[in-house]
């Protein structure tokens, strides 16, 4: 009798191909939003049939990237939830944590109106928006952030600013590791500029030290 086919190596290879295709798509779509699936397959080092086996069309590929981004945002928000830090530090930490995810998937901003639709993008960003609203509401209660706008409205405004800054990265107008965006966010929330810069510098340094300790 023929021996049973070992399926696990095939599954691992399939998962590896899928991950490579998605990683390549993040990179290539950032360079050229109109890149074709055939060009993506070539860049990923797979044949066209392999790519279409995972993603039967452009919409399926973009939805997979959108779900990746959504999971990454949920993970970041979950890690930073229920912070006991002062609100201004919590907001700085939140921005510094979320910005790398936004930067990794910023090509979705360029593709939002054309391919994904703004409703899908809003759904992806919802966990971050909700967490920012909680932090802002706490800061308003503590007198740290201004109260000219309700916390939910202020959160939506800061989100729109962040999306605009991601678009600026797409066009090459901005290059930032998140610190300048974090300072701008604190200032927009009502923290004086000098204090905002000091808070972000301190939080960023603490995050680097924590990462080094965990390494």
pLDDT digits (tens, 9 = 90+) for 136-162: 999 999 999 999 999 999 999 999 999
Range 186-195, long-range pairs (CB < 8 A, 24+ positions): 186/88, 186/91, 186/92, 188/157, 188/158, 188/161, 189/88, 189/91, 189/136, 189/139, 189/145, 189/146, 189/154, 189/158, 190/144, 190/145, 190/146, 191/88, 191/144, 191/145, 195/88
Domain 1-56 has CATH 1.10.10: yes
pTM beyond 0.85: the answer is no
pLDDT digits (tens, 9 = 90+) for 67-108: 988 898 998 888 765 568 899 999 999 999 999 988 888 888
pLDDT band at 205 (very low <50, low <70, confident <90, very high): very high
Percentage of the chain lying above the pLDDT 70 cut: 90
Neighbours of 71 (CB within 10 A): 13
Q: What is the pLDDT of residue 159?
A: 92
Q: Where are the domains of the chain?
A: 1-56, 58-214
Residue 10 has pLDDT above 70, yes or no: no
Domain 58-214 has CATH 1.10.357.10: yes
Decide if 1-56 and 58-214 have a common fold.
Answer: no
Q: What is the pLDDT of residue 161?
A: 94
Q: What is the pLDDT of residue 77?
A: 85
Q: What is the crossing angle of helices 58-80 and 7-31, to 10°?
A: 90
> 3-state class of 197 per DSSP?
helix
Q: What is the pLDDT of residue 165?
A: 92
pLDDT digits (tens, 9 = 90+) for 153-193: 999 999 999 989 988 988 889 999 999 999 999 999 999 99
- Lowest-pLDDT choice from 22-31, 145-154, 190-199: 22-31
């Amino acid at each position: 009798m023929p021996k049973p086919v070992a399926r696990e190596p095939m599954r691992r290879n399939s998962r590896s191909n899928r991950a490579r295709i998605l990683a390549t798509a993040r990179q290539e779509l950032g360079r050229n939003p109109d890149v074709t699936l055939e060009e993506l397959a070539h860049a990923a080092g797979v044949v066209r049939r392999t790519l279409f086996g995972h993603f039967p069309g452009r919409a399926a590929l973009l939805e997979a990237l959108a779900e990746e981004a959504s999971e990454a945002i949920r993970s970041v928000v979950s890690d930073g939830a229920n912070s006991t830090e002062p609100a201004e530090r919590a907001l700085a930490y939140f921005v510094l944590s979320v910005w790398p995810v936004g930067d990794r998937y910023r090509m979705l901003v360029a593709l939002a109106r054309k391919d994904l639709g703004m409703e899908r993008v809003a759904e992806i960003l919802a966990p971050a928006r909700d967490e920012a609203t909680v932090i802002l509401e706490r800061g308003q209660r503590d007198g740290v952030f201004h109260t000219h706008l309700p916390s939910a409205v202020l959160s939506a405004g800061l989100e729109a600013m962040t999306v605009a800054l991601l678009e600026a990265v797409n066009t090459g107008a901005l290059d930032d590791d998140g610190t300048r965006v974090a300072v701008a966010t604190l200032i927009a929330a009502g923290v004086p500029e000098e204090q905002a810069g000091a808070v972000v510098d301190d939080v960023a340094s603490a995050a680097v030290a924590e990462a080094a300790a965990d390494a």
